[in-house]
A and B are shown apart, each in its own frame.
Chain A
Amino acid sequence: MMENAWIIPLFPLLSFLILLLFGKRLKDASAYVGILLTLASLVYSLLVLFERFTEPTFKTSTEWLRIGDISLTAGFEVNQLNALMLVIVSLVSFLVHTYSKGYMHGDERFPVFYAYLGLFTFAMLGLVISPNLLQTYIFWELVGVGSFLLIGFYFYKEEAKAAAKKAFIMTRIGDVGLLIGMILLFWETKSFEYSEIFEAVEAGAVSTTMITLTAILIFIGAVGKSGQFPLHTWLPDAMEGPTPVSALIHAATMVAAGVYLVAALFPLFAASETALLTIAIIGAFTAIFAASIGLVQTDIKRVLAYSTVSQLGYMMLALGSAGYVAGVFHLMTHAFFKALLFLAAGSVIHAVHTQNIEEMGGLWKKLKLTAPLFLIGTLAISGVPLFSGFFSKDEILIAAWEGGHPVLFLLALAAAFMTAFYMFRLFFMVFTGEARTPMKNVHESPSMMTFPMIVLGVLAIIAGYVQTPLNHNLGDWLVDGNEALGHSHIEGPIWIMIAATVVSLAGIYLAYMIYYKRSIARNWLSGSGDTLHTILTNKYYIDEFYQMSVVAITKGISYFLRFIDVFLVEGIMKGVAGIVQGLGAAGSKLQTGQTQTYVTVAFVGMALLAVIFVLTGGYL
């Protein structure tokens, strides 16, 4: 199976091509093309995963481009991480394809939507089986385009247009970091292949400074893609895209690509203390920073978006604390429960046609399936014991503590508290109490939409049991004796687990008191209109800051250069034209029309020639 794993990304590519060419004629049947082809990918991915449990890593490549003596290759690799990612991506993609059949029903550009989903899935699957950095970069950019197209799916909306553009540009800033890092690393190691890079690093062929530099540059790419501070602002705006897209791209798969990249290059990062520390700090800071913004958002999708940013920060913190297994583990559980939350949120939006949680309420009675599923997702992300998020978050906290970052550990713990709080705030506001605005015809979504949610709901509960304090199956398999990846499980003191449970329950309790019991006023901490609240609702004014700094500077440079273009360059142009004109005028003065002058000139010329002829001895 593994030797043919290259076919997995090609199914969705085929879907993209078919729908691009024949989508108009296929109309609603487009959905089935997409669903069946991603199902094929899923089935094949599962087979590959099962085979990978027993078989060793498979890798193959062939020459793609020759540059003199340099041979750049393309191929694919099925190692543990890749096999796991294949299943996560194809599973979530398949479920989102199914869900969209109901959610996007009636949209004029229904086939186009499925075509874009196919393109994205192709790129994402291609990304996770790339055996070298160059190929990773290629698919890395292509997933960006898939994301861009889907964020801007409602192209006629100005907000969607702005969000799509922002997503592309912000991630591209990161991508340039990745590109530079990758090229510098190439000249150090003479290869883009992961295996050869690791060998060179291990053999000490690359200086520590260079490792740190390239690792941090590559990490900048991950910062852009995974919405880490300071390049996070595009991700909440990306919620302009249709909700299934948010579930697939901006929760479960693409935004996790940054984490995947760090994991895939882990031996490189592990070789530099500074690089790891940078990742850990950025991750922990992003986790609490985004969580704090999530506390006050009123758009159901934006709360989830900030939550995603925050959770990705968690994963980075794990990797930065040398918790390879913890990071990958949380990537997996998060993919399930966050996709579930987004799909459930989509189901809510589908039912009530608003995203503002201030207008919702009392939906528990009306959405009999969506509501409990949303609750499962909420419990999982809040880290309530026995749900998947509990186990993975616990691993991360232990990694941070044992990694010797007590401050970062505390930040992560505080973020966990906030997460539990804002998620339950969301839950109580949407599903309990009374509807705050009159809602008619609210009914549960069709089974095409609830089925994927149920699958994810089950996974959100059970996915954590692959790696618990009692068994390290996932870790053992992922690490498999590879020392560069660290331990399969980090033993930590039991109080960490208790502390994590306590902060999570405390967050839930506070949300319960405020938003369900209403025994604590909503503005108990900060009087409404208070500075802190204003800062948070305005997301720390980061967007405004970029607008006033980066954007303004860019415009300033452009106008300055225009000044040069208009005055200096055009001036040169006028000068040149003037010289030519002057010569022309001088030339036309010679054309006096007086025969005498002409004859005189001719004779003088001939005489001169004769003199030269004599002087040079007839050479000319």
Chain B
Amino acid sequence: MDLSFVLSLLVFSPLLGIIVLAFMPKTEEKTIKIVGFLATLPALVIAIGLYLHYLAGKALSDFSVAKDWITFGGLQGAEAGFWKVNYELGVSGFSMLLVLLTAVVATLAAIASIYIKKEWKGYFMLFLLLEIGMLGVFTAENLVLFFLFFEITLIPTFFLIGKWGYFEKEKAAYSFLIYNGLGSAVLLIVIMILFAKTGTTNIEMLTQMMNDPNVPLSGDLKLGLLIALLIAFGVKLPIFPLHSWMLRVHVQAPPSIVMIHSGILLKIGAYGLIRFGMGIFPEQFETLAVLLAILGVINLLYGAFLAFIQTDFKMVLAYSSISHMGIVLIGLAAMNEAGVQGAIFQVVSHGLISALLFFLVGAFYERTDTSLMENLGGMAKGMPIASGFLLAGALASLGLPGMSGFVSEFMAFLGLFEEMPWIAAVGCIGIIMTAVYLLRAVLGITYGQSHRDFTGVLDLKGVEFVPVVVLMALIILIGVIPSVLSSPLQATLETIMLGLGG
């Protein structure tokens, strides 16, 4: 059976929802929310289908699709597939997991959109457009297409933050746009140089060509391109000191969008670094390994120490994200199987955990109108279930074994200890600090005495259970049976290791 239509269907399935929404009256709040939610389901079903297809032992390349799209005519080598930009989608084990993560988080974020108070129609149309962008980013097989989808994620996010966020939403939206815009400008330059020099933007071809001595790219140029990529994706991840925009976004964007932003959009940075940075420029990546390890440890510690003194729980989680992305860098810098696998695990794991935590922040905010810790306290009395999940989420985040965070953190450190034990040892301070700041924040909210009167505040109810239960179940599943992630990754890992020459 020809399955090459599947990925296109996957990526563009939210379009159906956009079209339906376009014809709906904008006052029908309930129906719009239901349609918006339903529109995320086809992608989820297909993404699960991809995973089942893999489990059934069939090749993921069955889904690859390549169609002629843009040809730069009359140039030498055109017949051999050069000077063409095709419409190419495909998935590997790694990108399949990210597609699945995207589909899951998008559906759950659609449920979390119950907290959206106005203009639901516009909200969901942008939301679904954002989903198209994200799914496209992870399935694109050439850089131009990747870039296109990458840009598609920027615009809806900008509006979703700027319009549906909290008090300083415009400011947050603009700083988001400026930083990410500059990041993508740098990315575009890299893509254009690569295309001009090699005649292709196909990722696989590029990966192969870079090992070919006949390709007219000097080592210095490659290093320059890699550094440019590091900056472009470093904005996204974010890497210190390019992070300040993301703090604002985490505080100001509505909960559902923060779930997506922290859960998926930040991960594009990691995905790019692994797929393009490490994949296309393995040799140069190696020369930057120590730098990356140091940057990773800085991220880890910087985020952790700053999270320790925040007064707003959202800020704690925002700095926590910076800190946890440091672990991705640590794993990548190790450049061995354990490290890279740890980094990829961390990408997925943090996606789930941060989506859970930000959803819960939203649930608390909805009831108490605050996320400042000085106003909260003793919430476990009135909201025992929500508090329980919050604590469990925090434990997952601080790397408690039995949950996904531990497996990723452990592998990343295992990897780095083999290569750079001293840097890794310094990074271990982060493991302690993570426990310190998370317990300070979460116990500050749920334990002790209430600082305000919250009698009559209701616990989680109805559909609110769906995101927390699903996310927690996945977090524990990965923690207990990590092979659900690691086995699809082995092929990807082998390819990367081959590129790294060992």
Q: Do A and B come from the same complex? A: yes
User: A residues near B, CB below 8 A?
Assistant: 63-70, 134, 137-139, 141-142, 145, 152, 155-158, 160-161, 164-165, 168-169, 172-173, 176, 179-180, 183-184, 186-187, 554-555, 557-559, 561-562, 565, 568-570, 572-573, 576-577, 580
Shortest CB-to-CB span from A429 to chain B, Å, is 33
Cα–Cα distance between A196 and B259 once the two chains are bound (Å) = 44
Cα–Cα distance between A126 and B382 once the two chains are bound (Å) = 34
Asked whether B401 lies within 8 Å of A138 as measured between CB atoms, the reply is yes
Which residues of chain B are near A555, meaning CB under 8 Å? 308-309
Cα–Cα distance between A70 and B446 once the two chains are bound (Å) = 41
18 A-B residue pairs with Cβ-Cβ distance under 8 Å, sorted by A, are A65-B407, A65-B486, A66-B483, A66-B487, A138-B401, A138-B406, A142-B400, A142-B402, A145-B395, A145-B400, A152-B447, A155-B448, A156-B381, A156-B447, A168-B439, A558-B306, A561-B302, A580-B182
Asked whether B413 lies within 8 Å of A183 as measured between CB atoms, the reply is yes
Cα–Cα distance between A179 and B413 once the two chains are bound (Å) = 9
Cα–Cα distance between A161 and B449 once the two chains are bound (Å) = 10
Q: Which residue of A lies closest to B490 (CB)?
A: A66
* B residues contacting the other copy or chain, number (CB 8 A): 60
Which residues of chain A are near B337, meaning CB under 8 Å? 67-70
Shortest CB-to-CB span from A289 to chain B, Å, is 24
Which residues of chain A are near B440, meaning CB under 8 Å? 165
Asked whether B400 lies within 8 Å of A557 as measured between CB atoms, the reply is no
Q: Which residue of B lies closest to A174 (CB)?
A: B432
Q: Which residue of A lies closest to B418 (CB)?
A: A187
**Given A70-B337, A168-B439, residue A561 in contact with residue B306 (CB < 8 A):** yes
Cα–Cα distance between A186 and B497 once the two chains are bound (Å) = 21
A180-B425, A554-B436 known; 13 new pairs, CB 8 Å cut-off, are A70-B338, A139-B401, A156-B381, A161-B443, A176-B429, A176-B431, A183-B413, A184-B421, A558-B308, A568-B241, A569-B241, A572-B242, A577-B178
Cα–Cα distance between A206 and B317 once the two chains are bound (Å) = 42
Which residues of chain B are near A63, meaning CB under 8 Å? 483
Shortest CB-to-CB span from A189 to chain B, Å, is 13
Asked whether A173 lies within 8 Å of B432 as measured between CB atoms, the reply is yes
Shortest CB-to-CB span from A424 to chain B, Å, is 38
User: B residues near A, CB below 8 A?
Assistant: 175, 178-179, 181-182, 240-245, 302, 305-306, 308-309, 336-338, 341, 378, 380-381, 395, 400-402, 406-407, 410-411, 413-414, 417-418, 421, 424-425, 428-429, 431-433, 435-436, 439-440, 443, 446-449, 482-483, 486-487, 490, 493-494, 497
**Given A145-B400, A183-B414, A183-B417, residue A562 in contact with residue B306 (CB < 8 A):** yes
User: Shortest 7 CB-CB distances between A and B: which pairs?
Assistant: A68-B337, A138-B401, A161-B447, A155-B447, A558-B309, A558-B305, A183-B417
Shortest CB-to-CB span from A246 to chain B, Å, is 19
Shortest CB-to-CB span from B419 to chain A, Å, is 10
Which residues of chain B are near A557, meaning CB under 8 Å? 305
Other-chain residue from A141, A169, A559 in contact with B432 (beta carbon distance below 8 A)? A169
**Given A141-B400, A142-B401, A561-B302, residue A155 in contact with residue B309 (CB < 8 A):** no
Asked whether B435 lies within 8 Å of A184 as measured between CB atoms, the reply is no
Which residues of chain B are near A565, meaning CB under 8 Å? 244, 306
Asked whether A570 lies within 8 Å of B302 as measured between CB atoms, the reply is no
Which residues of chain A are near B482, meaning CB under 8 Å? 64-65
Shortest CB-to-CB span from A175 to chain B, Å, is 8
Shortest CB-to-CB span from A564 to chain B, Å, is 8
Cα–Cα distance between A555 and B243 once the two chains are bound (Å) = 22
Q: Which residue of B lies closest to A112 (CB)?
A: B384
Shortest CB-to-CB span from B244 to chain A, Å, is 5
Shortest CB-to-CB span from B306 to chain A, Å, is 5
Shortest CB-to-CB span from B48 to chain A, Å, is 23
**Given A165-B440, A179-B431, residue A158 in contact with residue B486 (CB < 8 A):** no
Which residues of chain B are near A173, meaning CB under 8 Å? 432
Which residues of chain A are near B436, meaning CB under 8 Å? 169, 554
Shortest CB-to-CB span from B439 to chain A, Å, is 5
Asked whether A559 lies within 8 Å of B309 as measured between CB atoms, the reply is yes
**Given A152-B447, A568-B241, A577-B175, residue A68 in contact with residue B305 (CB < 8 A):** no
Q: Which residue of B lies closest to A217 (CB)?
A: B425
Which residues of chain A are near B402, meaning CB under 8 Å? 138, 142
Cα–Cα distance between A288 and B337 once the two chains are bound (Å) = 48
Which residues of chain B are near A152, meaning CB under 8 Å? 443, 447
Asked whether A65 lies within 8 Å of B305 as measured between CB atoms, the reply is no
